[in-house]
């Protein structure tokens, strides 16, 4: 989940990732729709990623579908006018929002599934680069994704072996996010 106030590149990054993966390999279903619209889950079938920018601040009531997708469980999906079918979604869920939508979910089992990335920089109109096109982005995206992939595996392999804490600033930010999504945590 990419979070941060506006004009900081969240949507640009998600657009670039979608272009890199290919539009035919990506679905665009909002998190709340996955949970509450019985036909939307079918859009993830056979996709590499589900990318949805600018999530609404509508309450995420329930998290069963989100948990099943992120843990690799079999889900049941339905297309209008067709029989339902089972599949294991392998699409990576990528979302952006100015703030994490409020949730009635309090448990560790929900929050541990998130990788939260806060975009703190705001770009002025003068700083924006209008020359960033698909042609110029593709080599940059490829290099960036290779770097992230390498660092991700290096970090998480170490994390699994050492059982280290994620940095304190991330834990504080996660706590602040949890409190912001559900005030019942205060009790």
All domains of the chain in start order, with CATH = 2-123+133-186 (3.40.50)
CA neighbor of 26 nearest in space, from 94, 120, 77, 83 = 94
What does DSSP say about strands 26-27 and 49-52: parallel, antiparallel, or unpaired?
A: parallel
pLDDT tens, residue by residue, 46-93: 999 999 998 888 878 888 999 999 999 999 999 999 999 999 999 999
Confidence of residue 161 (pLDDT cuts 50, 70, 90): very low
Beta bridge partners of 86: 76
Using alpha carbons, list the distances in angstroms from residue 2 to 51, 81, 99, 168.
11, 35, 9, 19
pLDDT tens, residue by residue, 89-121: 999 999 999 887 777 877 778 878 888 888 888
CA neighbor of 99 nearest in space, from 63, 57, 59 = 57
Confidence of residue 128 (pLDDT cuts 50, 70, 90): confident
Terminal-to-terminal C-alpha distance of the chain: 26
What does DSSP say about strands 85-87 and 49-52: parallel, antiparallel, or unpaired?
A: unpaired
Torsion sign across C-alpha atoms 156, 162, 167, 171? positive
Task: State the pTM of this model.
Answer: 0.74
């Amino acid at each position: 989940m990419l979070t941060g106030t506006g004009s900081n590149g969240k949507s640009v990054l998600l657009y670039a990732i979608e272009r890199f993966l290919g539009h035919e390999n990506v679905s665009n279903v909002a998190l709340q729709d996955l949970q509450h619209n019985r036909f939307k889950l079918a859009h993830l079938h056979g996709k590499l990623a589900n990318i949805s920018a600018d999530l609404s601040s509508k309450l995420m009531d329930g998290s069963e579908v989100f948990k099943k997708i992120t843990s690799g469980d079999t889900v049941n999906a339905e297309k209008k006018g067709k029989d339902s079918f089972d599949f294991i979604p392998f699409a990576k869920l990528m979302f952006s929002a100015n703030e994490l939508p409020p949730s009635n979910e309090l448990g560790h089992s929900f929050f541990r599934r998130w990788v939260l990335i806060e975009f703190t920089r705001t770009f002025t109109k003068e700083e924006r680069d209008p020359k960033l096109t698909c042609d110029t982005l593709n080599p940059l995206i490829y290099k960036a994704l290779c770097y992230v992939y390498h660092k991700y595996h290096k970090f998480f392999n170490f994390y699994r072996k050492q059982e280290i804490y994620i940095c304190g600033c991330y834990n504080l930010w996660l706590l602040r996010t949890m409190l912001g999504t559900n005030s019942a945590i205060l009790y």
